[in-house]
Chain A
Amino acid sequence: MPDSTFLDASELVLNMGPQHPSTHGVLRVILKLDGEKVIGTECVIGYLHRGVEKIAENRTYVQFAPYVDRMDYVAAVSNGLGYCLAVEKLLGVEAPPRAQVVRVILTELNRVASHLIWLGTHALDIGAITPLFYTMREREETLNIFEKYCGARLTNHAFRIGGLQYETYDGFEREVRACCDLLLPRIDEYEELLTGNRIWIGRLKNVGILNAEDCKAYGVTGPMLRAAGVKWDIRKAQPYSGYERYEFEIPTGVNGDTYDRYMVRMLEMRQSVRIIRQAVDGMPAGPIMGKVPKVIRPPVGEVYVSIEAPKGELGYYVVSDNSTQPYRVRVRPPSFVNLQSLDKMARGSLVADVVAIIGTIDIVLGEVDR
């Protein structure tokens, strides 16, 4: 943190959080202020630390799967997919085609649900309360599909290593199609509420600019990187779970400011709906579980598998020592890495903008602290 302030005026150190509604959980930000201007920030994290990586070392591979849902709990399905893919790679098995398609449908629905939560809370932070009610309402539709499919709404535990545990229910395809048909006009409605709104533009344009070089330097991924104009999406760059079969575009921004990040996420939701529609149309029949031994005991080795979670690159590094329990599981959480860019973005902005910047990173503290 810089020590000198303007004209040697006494600087103010302000604690924002851990119990602050705009930090989306238990994040504490120590702000160093010169009047209204932020001259430095420092994040204090760890209030929600549960030691997920350590828990993994004391659980079998199958038993650890429900725990990964509790990291990024608004996108639990993506977390489960990443973990299952990592262990599958370690075992050398692949999920059957039908399982892969169902996985894509559910992860993309989850991406929409995660972005809807982000949109609602981000708008709420900035002062637009209305979108929150509408986004929660549409999220309910996706959660209903999860509930009917796997029996849980938030921490789903939907996928198993090697495929799926549950076959789709009667009317799954019809309900997913109906959900897609519902989502597109509703996303237009959010845009009517926000995109052209002068207060929204005033609060977001040219706030929290992070250009492509800084993004790469900080390791920022996901919509934040794409808003800076970098066309990087792991679904395209290193396709997994059959993503190479679907047609979709990678939306990018130009300036890398908060407004661009908002636009990128809105476009991403539309692309997700597009992927879901293609997946539902081409759903193959067949088994849903691959050839996985009853007791999972992968050979000695280590793998790193990363997927495109709603918030960025979610990576799992799993080390096996040929026992039933992983020797080490290391998670690369997108929220944690993206949060590091907060200081860069917030420095020099106003206190009110810090709230907008935290909101635009789209952090989930369960994932930051793990």
Chain B
Amino acid sequence: MMRVLRTIFLFDLIEGLWVTFRYQRPKHIYTEQYPAQRPKVAERYRGAPRLNNNPETGETLCIACNLCALACPETLIVVGSERNEQTRRKELTTFTYDISRCMFCGLCEDACPVDALELTQDFEMAAYSREGAIWDRQMLEEGPRPTRYKF
């Protein structure tokens, strides 16, 4: 009897609709209004790479050891270095990083012995051309500059 009544009065459908109506209140809104509302990414987020400088002297921390290039599965890092005849040490000249092939696995940042190469929280890396996705040393040190829209 109960079952017949439940069937006639569409109880199963109303039960489901009740769940839907419970979430109609504005406090249940989950949508993020990007780009007006920017997502907060986690501290360990693996985003755009950055080549860190020493904050005091402004010199690069990179010692041109080439370990990141060896660790990279896609071999997309090219490190250029030159031997300084006075100090007898290798110095970094160029550093290119191909964002378009990067899969942000973080192996390069794990390999870096001096914390020079780091994957940062920047996640907007769009470029207008394929060449624009190949970052040089200057770009890596300054970081991406995505357009900030005003609302």
Interface residues of A (CB under 8 A from B): 59, 62-67, 70, 130, 134, 137, 140, 144, 147-152, 155, 157, 165-166, 169, 189, 192-194, 196-198
Contacts and interface: CB of A to CB of B under 8 A. Distances in A.
Given A194-B16, A197-B16, A198-B12, A67 B73 contact: yes
B80 to A, nearest CB: 22
B5 interface: no
A154 to B, nearest CB: 10
B104 interface: yes
- The 8 residue pairs across chains A and B that have the minimum distance between CB atoms: A66-B105, A63-B73, A151-B44, A151-B46, A148-B42, A196-B12, A193-B16, A147-B42
Given A63-B71, A165-B110, A193-B16, A151 B103 contact: no
Interface string B106-147: 110010000000010000000000000000000000000000
9 contacts: A63-B71, A137-B30, A147-B44, A149-B44, A151-B45, A152-B45, A152-B106, A189-B19, A198-B13
- Majority DSSP secondary structure for residues of A touching B: helix
Contacts of B19: 130, 189, 192-193
A152 B41 CA distance: 10
Contact of A151 (B13, B18, B107, B119): B119
Interface centre among B13, B41, B44, B105, by most A CB within 10 Å?
A: B105
A187 B73 CA distance: 39
Interface string B85-114: 000000000000000000111110010000
Nearest to A150: B44
Contacts of A166: 44
B20 interface: yes
Given A63-B107, A137-B30, A192 B45 contact: no
A63 B23 CA distance: 45
Contacts of A64: 73
A169 B44 contact: yes
A196 B15 contact: yes
B59 interface: no
Interface of B: 7, 12-13, 15-16, 18-20, 23, 30, 41-46, 71-73, 103-107, 110, 119
Nearest to A137: B30
Contacts of B44: 147-151, 166, 169
A85 to B, nearest CB: 19
B43 A62 contact: no
Contacts of B106: 151-152, 157, 165
Contacts of B105: 65-66, 157
Given A66-B73, A192-B15, A193-B19, A155 B103 contact: yes
A198 B107 CA distance: 51
A147 B15 contact: no
A152 B45 CA distance: 6
Contacts of A197: 12-13, 16
Nearest to A128: B16
Q: With a 10 A CB-CB cut-off, give which of B19, B30, B72, B110 has the most chain A CB atoms.
A: B19
Contacts of A65: 105
A147 B13 contact: no
Contacts of B30: 137, 140
B49 to A, nearest CB: 13
Contacts of A70: 103
Contacts of A189: 19
A352 B13 CA distance: 22
Contacts of B12: 196-198
Contacts of A194: 16
Given A192-B19, A196-B12, A196-B15, A62 B45 contact: no
B16 A169 contact: no
Contact of B46 (A134, A140, A152, A192): A152
A130 B13 contact: no
